[in-house]
Structure 1
């Protein structure tokens, strides 16, 4: 529909109709089987809100959505279609690895393709918008939503966020509207506690936490979601300076701003609004276009306009943005766009899920034990050997029935191995804490089985968090394995040193004992539909692991939040002189993480050479190097380019990622890698909060992890 026709439509709509476009209701008001992802308020919406509501969340299914849409449009005065939204986070029916795992692939093109598949499956079942990607820089693994982010690095979040937006939106009638969230800084919640406040400097907020949004906005996402927290004590959903001045005026975002669940009403809880009426005023003035499930807009906007407390132009502005989004999705021409056009869990979709899962797994340790030989005696042990729970709490439309177990895959591939769950995933007490049903477990021969293990036996332990232990509202103070799994591992470790541990998790865990007692460790994250096959193929060498950590694995929880880009400090700790206690250090643990950002091993060896760095007359920095596979197995290396600002008026990070490239090489093969970096990408805010983008002294380094450089050069730009 042409813009002028949309404008004409808006002019013909009543005030209630326009306000309706600004209200999102849960599908519970339209369908009793809708998926709920938050608490429903006690008050029922006014009847006219249900009749005119512009969007619905949590409903999926071709027939169901066809029925709801048909009935809704028939009774709507202007026959405006609904838009159905949901949390399609890492796949719809075909579930890919969690975003944190996807980032470990360092393969944005594949991440984009996975998002495109998710969009096709979602659109086919009636969903036309997803609350994804989440590009909150996340350094604290106590925060359960780290699993939904792309890790600790701002640049990585920006690159992967842009790739995912492109994947969601690039198809015409089968695409869905993407939503960048949570704008901004939510990954820095104090103490890693969900819904908590955020206290960071303005400089850190803009340079590290807003940066990925600025990058991903170039992909023109349809929506941006506000966050629950406050920045500089001002909650985001009522923050005019952040939403209108920064997001819209400075960054040029012209799409739809949607609140997170109930966050406008939460302004009252945060004490910045006296009541829902005032909360509605603050959010409307800040430019929040859609109120997701709070009483503020639905009960107060009409009265506020009639009383002259907010101008109707605010309503027109927001309602028009929602209409434009629906128009861009083709809903005015076809309210059922994409419905039924894609199959789910197709062989192609599964193949891509397998590929991304394989590239997301990170080999953290390997003392010449992997890959295993199929002919040797191997025992696969742990609750995840016979479990299908490889998805996550955020794969809300995923189907466990479509997941094969590791035991299934071993049998299918005719690999002789003994499989034993050995213990429960969670104890009864842990089930109470995480609000899950206690697991039935009856294996009386467990102790006798353990006694049969000899020092020559190889045991692959597949252990990790329960699905409920990561995701929204899943903050943890302790990052150890569940207690029964820890005890089970220790018992095996007393019998044999030949242990390969595969970790299934939504966040970094405290892996000290696992790493110490295992000869090999694989971080498989929450791997999704094809997780079992990807893990088995890596263990037996059918696939060469190539993942690199998108987040540091802390030595222990006492280090967090920890990241490679921590700000420089004085009293620098020198590991060669541990007797000096008057330095920035812990006395009882190391400063450095157990495994750093960018780290990951392979079954082959790589070499990076011929590094050249030049500051060109085109105001760009040009980096050249060669990477070669010096081993006997084909594999992929990730060449990583970092920079350090050597002297500035303010303290800067020790190192920042500015480019990376994943390179696949046959044995003996050598390839050239070139990076071209605009000078403005090195810019920062000086002591007066003015941007510095010239006369900078930089150290440019090339490596294959944040703590392993193959070479560096100092340049002036």
Structure 2
């Protein structure tokens, strides 16, 4: 009893301390606000870029330092380094109220050490690993004087034509929500104020991933039901995980630019969800409401944006010149400006910048943290986990370590630059590990590597084929590195043709015709189309862009030192004509029962409905058997739960991991439900021959959905339970009833 008594007292003291701290910060924010002029308040809502790493069109401004000194700036992006941020912060400390700046940077998949692109990390389905990747990035970033990253991107993306698919977690709402939580926790660590924590920024709010025709910056047109069912949940997960900031989107929704969309930013985010952080515009998006045709000039755009809930103006130069006049004209209540300023100031207090504006700008800590052996080890592990084994017929992989000669062919075989992928922080004289270098470091003196480029990434010429064919014929096995250049997928990289570029597939055909064992490594930032290769090459490994340790990770997987366990987070189409194609589609009144059933069905005449590779697909060097599905009950009420057990056995000869995926289908409801929805998963390690019981719990939350009135809840009815190794590879099924 005494222990419980002391525990209760301790709990109360801690709770009171948290409340007191919050009250103290709010009081301090109010005290600063009372000292500020209107111009100084507006200055806190103004963000400029530095002179490097620009991510949008720049307006030349030779007076930046003067404006900082005059208190007309609240934040800067693209200023990095402990020394550089300190120098700029010193200018801010010359302003009347000495309000510190927040420094932000697009730290999308690593800072000094580059991790795999986010879509590749999502393919790991390994939440702790993704949290660690963000944690390492945060440590390096914070050590360089930066307080804030514009990540994670949590947009649901069903269209691989959209270049920014590489920056997110793929097509699934549940998986995307779990990854959003992991990445926010990774960036923010134990909490803002720690010297290894940076502010996360959930973006792009909202529905940017559904840009019409997959064209970046385009409009979005969707139903309210689709918005709430599929696109908003990852943002809600980010709020619940404590994301410090949000970024709005370039797109329109219901005809209104997201930057000025009060339904999104005020009604949902700051209202219904109770978000206490601040919202930053995307680069120039406030001013871009003029070409949208939503505002006649930047003054009206500023009015619309602040009313709509956009707190900070990133690089559109709309707030600073116009808000004071708008207040004077009584078009904008000063209360709206005060609310936005308080949100920004609160984060500066939470970061501890008022106590010490230079606390993150420590050169000694920066030198110790950046590019450490520990950080590179984490990047290597993440890269290994991110690869997806698409095919392995004849078990060509893993390769024997006794091979005498390996031909390494293809335009990406010796590439270092492309390994960093798009949206990475660039460093002078950076050294990334190419595939060829990774293989060199892996094989012994008894194995010879013979290299031939064959062709460039986008070449139309086949003049290099002969050399490549000769190299292949001389070798025991051929490794072909094909795919995209790093700048072919990313922001402003939308494409109508996502087939393997140039004559690369022709090169693969010629090499395959030699009769030698062929392994293709496909390196890209999005799902590509490579149908001939997919049909004819026995072993295909999708490696994405893997970052600093790419070559070492690929070599480890090729030789079996790591058994691949990745699963696709996006559907791979057969052709662009299928797009958007995704696994959790709604059934129709005339569903196609199979790929040959096209007569008066929802089907194509010239192509199957099914994708080339389905969501969740991914093989291993070992095999797994699913059996003994047991439900604790066949009925569940709104307050109950069902325990689901199954037996998973590693039936192969290698130790390996399997991602066990649980899908549900609501058979009949007041709104049509998807044919299946991912509702849980577990990544399980099993030694060769090992058997484990895997358990899941189904509760009300997993059965709920948004009804016709957009209310979240459940309805009585029949449910189908599906468990398998991919969305199209269901191994166990059962049904149950919700009473």
Same topology, TM > 0.5: yes
Aligned to 1:202: 224
State how far apart, in whole Å, the 2-side matches of 1:243 and 1:600 are: 38
Q: Of residues 486, 489, 498 in structure 2, which corresponds to 1:467?
A: 486
State how far apart, in whole Å, the 2-side matches of 1:642 and 1:579 are: 25
Q: Of residues 657, 674, 695 in structure 2, which corresponds to 1:653?
A: 674
After TM superposition, the structure 1 = structure 2 runs for residues 208-227 of structure 1, keeping only pairs within 5 Å, are 208-227=230-249
Higher deviation after alignment, 695-704 or 217-226: 695-704
After TM superposition, the structure 1 = structure 2 runs for residues 321-400 of structure 1, keeping only pairs within 5 Å, are 321-340=343-362, 341=365, 342-368=368-394, 369-376=396-403, 377-389=405-417, 390-397=419-426
Aligned to 2:19: none
Aligned to 1:585: 603
Aligned to 1:628: 649
State how far apart, in whole Å, the 2-side matches of 1:185 and 1:447 are: 48
Deviation at 1:400, TM superposition (A): 6.5
Q: Deviations over 1:263-311 (max 9, x none)?
A: 1111111111122111111111111110111122121111111221111
Q: Could you tell me whether the CA contact under 8 Å between 1:599 and 1:704 is conserved in 2?
A: yes
State how far apart, in whole Å, the 1-side matches of 2:348 and 2:211 are: 33
After TM superposition, the structure 1 = structure 2 runs for residues 572-611 of structure 1, keeping only pairs within 5 Å, are 572-575=591-594, 578=596, 580-611=598-629
State how far apart, in whole Å, the 2-side matches of 1:664 and 1:148 are: 28
The answer on 1:285 being equivalent to 2:307 is yes
Higher deviation after alignment, 112-121 or 689-698: 689-698
Aligned to 1:526: 545
Q: Could you tell me whether the CA contact under 8 Å between 2:622 and 2:652 is conserved in 1?
A: yes
Deviation at 1:347, TM superposition (A): 1.2
After TM superposition, the structure 1 = structure 2 runs for residues 549-588 of structure 1, keeping only pairs within 5 Å, are 549-575=568-594, 578=596, 580-588=598-606
Deviation at 1:409, TM superposition (A): 2.3
SS of residue in 1 equivalent to 2:180: helix
State how far apart, in whole Å, the 1-side matches of 2:667 and 2:520 are: 41
Rate the CA distance shift 1:290–1:677 in 2: closer, same or farther, 3 A: farther
Deviation at 1:488, TM superposition (A): 2.5
The answer on 1:132 being equivalent to 2:158 is no
Aligned to 1:179: 201
Q: Could you tell me whether the CA contact under 8 Å between 1:385 and 1:419 is conserved in 2?
A: no
Deviation at 1:457, TM superposition (A): 4.1
Aligned to 1:405: 434
State how far apart, in whole Å, the 2-side matches of 1:706 and 1:315 are: 48
SS of residue in 1 equivalent to 2:89: helix
Q: Deviations over 1:240-263 (max 9, x none)?
A: 111111111111111111110111
State how far apart, in whole Å, the 2-side matches of 1:45 and 1:291 are: 18
Q: Could you tell me whether the CA contact under 8 Å between 2:69 and 2:91 is conserved in 1?
A: no
Q: Of residues 178, 183, 202 in structure 2, which corresponds to 1:164?
A: 183
Rate the CA distance shift 1:558–1:44 in 2: closer, same or farther, 3 A: farther
Structure 2 residues not aligned, in runs of 5+? 1-23
The answer on 1:247 being equivalent to 2:269 is yes
Aligned to 1:98: 117
Q: Deviations over 1:540-580 (max 9, x none)?
A: 1111010011111111211111110011112121228x364
Q: Could you tell me whether the CA contact under 8 Å between 2:662 and 2:723 is conserved in 1?
A: yes
Q: Of residues 430, 448, 451 in structure 2, which corresponds to 1:420?
A: 451
Higher deviation after alignment, 678-687 or 560-569: 678-687
Q: Deviations over 1:658-681 (max 9, x none)?
A: 111100111122223222244133
Alignment size in residue pairs = 698
State how far apart, in whole Å, the 2-side matches of 1:25 and 1:269 are: 21
Q: Of residues 689, 713, 717 in structure 1, which corresponds to 2:734?
A: 713
The answer on 1:83 being equivalent to 2:111 is no
Aligned to 2:688: 667
State how far apart, in whole Å, the 2-side matches of 1:429 and 1:540 are: 33
Aligned to 1:546: 565
RMSD between aligned alpha carbons? 2.1
SS of residue in 2 equivalent to 1:551: coil
Q: Deviations over 1:511-554 (max 9, x none)?
A: 21221231100000111111111111111111101001111111
State how far apart, in whole Å, the 2-side matches of 1:449 and 1:509 are: 23
Higher deviation after alignment, 674-683 or 287-296: 674-683
Structure 1 residues not aligned, in runs of 5+? 29-33, 431-442
